[in-house]
Structure 1
């Protein structure tokens, strides 16, 4: 069991609408997860899977915005899955949290009630730091959450493609300089892409991309106007504050 006295903090997200417990050390939930949730389209009754959910931040933030989704939080780390389960209960959000490696085979997914063609929407924030340029953390959980191998993105996209229904949508966040890898991973089985660059400051290169892709989609790819997080004083812009505090969603979440 986790030592709840010394190793856990409780933090507010979505302007206090979501209270989440997370480990003090290792990977900590932040803006990426909230932006991912705000970019995900879902509707009441949809079965939604958050792959690599950690403590559940993105999936639970989506469930707070869209009531009535059937949410499954998939996490490889048993301690984090336990926290995700507890966070869902503490916030009165109906969700299941399962311990499962995203790269596991179809039989493992089916054994956890995630057979092929069974899900309406998938969201994911895979490990995306390049190991050649990123100094790995001595904390193994943090290392797993942050650093990608050459196969990480393809394996995660493959898992999403397998469980999604036809015309189901995958929404992901990735580092902006890896957009080529994202497009390559989505080239098999996905189409109707919408891409939203995320810039830390105006006039600076994008630092993230949010991408929505439809299984079997055939519409042309759309490149949306970039989202700028901070103004000239490095203060979050109002539209960004509205998103981070749960008062607005991103264009990718619109039908």
Structure 2
């Protein structure tokens, strides 16, 4: 467990969510809040956050959608303990598991995550290719950011296993590696909706938010891009609303 002096307490969703997190290493930011905003859920839904870290995305979703049955999965025991504390700090209910997403069906079942038992999965997997990206000397940051070639496929496979038929997976990924997402989701998922995220108009997308349905058959839909800032560098109204905790609908209609 980190000492208090090694932590910061930061505000998200316009101050409606407080998160204690390490000063160094991987820290929650815009990606987690955008992922939460893009995830569809209803009260009573069973929702699993893969690679939850200190709980940022899952807890942000729980703040927006009251009454979700939230499970936070994190491989790092120290971050999992912080996630448990952050749930209590924000008076939100969440079950926290120290679990490797790629551990397999038996480990998931021991945590009560059986096949075809979950309504929604959200994930922000490590997405920097180790062959192209020099990993951070900080072990926690490196674990959170640098992926093996099989990482995305393994995480998607785990989501496919525990999702109910028609359940939805929502993820955030590097825009320049969208082909990897399409390949991973080609088995068992359909109805993909993709939202590119751009830093400003005229600049290439840096992230993609993707929602897919287990067993879905609808054609892929590519939405108009979300601009984080306008030409003057001011945060756009749509981005600001998502970062305050409003839903960011990923809909083909």
Shorter-chain TM band = over 0.9
- Cα shift readout 1:180-234 (whole Å, capped 9, x = no counterpart): 0000000000001100000011011110000000000011111111001011222
State the alpha-carbon separation in 2 of the partners of residues 254 and 47 from structure 1. Answer: 24
Is residue 99 of structure 2 the alignment partner of residue 104 of structure 1?
no
Q: Can you give the 5+ residue segments of structure 1 that lack an aligned partner in the other structure?
A: none
Partner of 1:36 in structure 2?
A: 35
Which shifted more, 34-43 or 224-233? 224-233
Is residue 52 of structure 2 the alignment partner of residue 53 of structure 1?
yes
Tell me: CA distance 1:139–1:253, structure 2 relative to 1, closer, same or farther (3 Å): farther
Which shifted more, 228-237 or 25-34? 228-237
Q: What pairs up with 1:78-93 in 2 under 5 angstroms?
A: 78-93=77-92
State the alpha-carbon separation in 1 of the partners of residues 202 and 230 from structure 2. Answer: 11
State the alpha-carbon separation in 2 of the partners of residues 203 and 2 from structure 1. Answer: 42
Partner of 1:175 in structure 2?
A: 174
State the alpha-carbon separation in 2 of the partners of residues 100 and 111 from structure 1. Answer: 10
State the alpha-carbon separation in 1 of the partners of residues 238 and 111 from structure 2. Answer: 39
TM-score, structure 2 normalization: 0.98
State the alpha-carbon separation in 2 of the partners of residues 158 and 131 from structure 1. Answer: 21
Dislocated runs of 4+, deviation >3 Å: none
State the alpha-carbon separation in 2 of the partners of residues 41 and 135 from structure 1. Answer: 34
- Cα shift readout 1:61-81 (whole Å, capped 9, x = no counterpart): 000000010000000000000
Q: Residue 41 of structure 1 contacts residue 254 of structure 1 at CA under 8 Å; is this kept in 2?
A: no
Q: Residue 196 of structure 1 contacts residue 225 of structure 1 at CA under 8 Å; is this kept in 2?
A: yes
Q: Can you give the 5+ residue segments of structure 2 that lack an aligned partner in the other structure?
A: none
Q: Secondary structure at the match of 1:201?
A: coil
Displacement, 1:235?
2.2
Q: Residue 42 of structure 1 contacts residue 253 of structure 1 at CA under 8 Å; is this kept in 2?
A: no
Which shifted more, 128-137 or 166-175? 128-137
State the alpha-carbon separation in 1 of the partners of residues 35 and 18 from structure 2. Answer: 18
Displacement, 1:133?
2.6
Q: Residue 39 of structure 1 contacts residue 253 of structure 1 at CA under 8 Å; is this kept in 2?
A: no
Partner of 2:2 in structure 1?
A: 2
Displacement, 1:236?
1.2
Partner of 1:252 in structure 2?
A: 250
State the alpha-carbon separation in 1 of the partners of residues 252 and 89 from structure 2. Answer: 29
| Count of aligned residue pairs for this structure pair | 253
Which shifted more, 124-133 or 184-193? 124-133
Displacement, 1:253?
7.2
State the alpha-carbon separation in 2 of the partners of residues 212 and 84 from structure 1. Answer: 24
Tell me: CA distance 1:253–1:16, structure 2 relative to 1, closer, same or farther (3 Å): farther
Q: Secondary structure at the match of 1:25?
A: coil
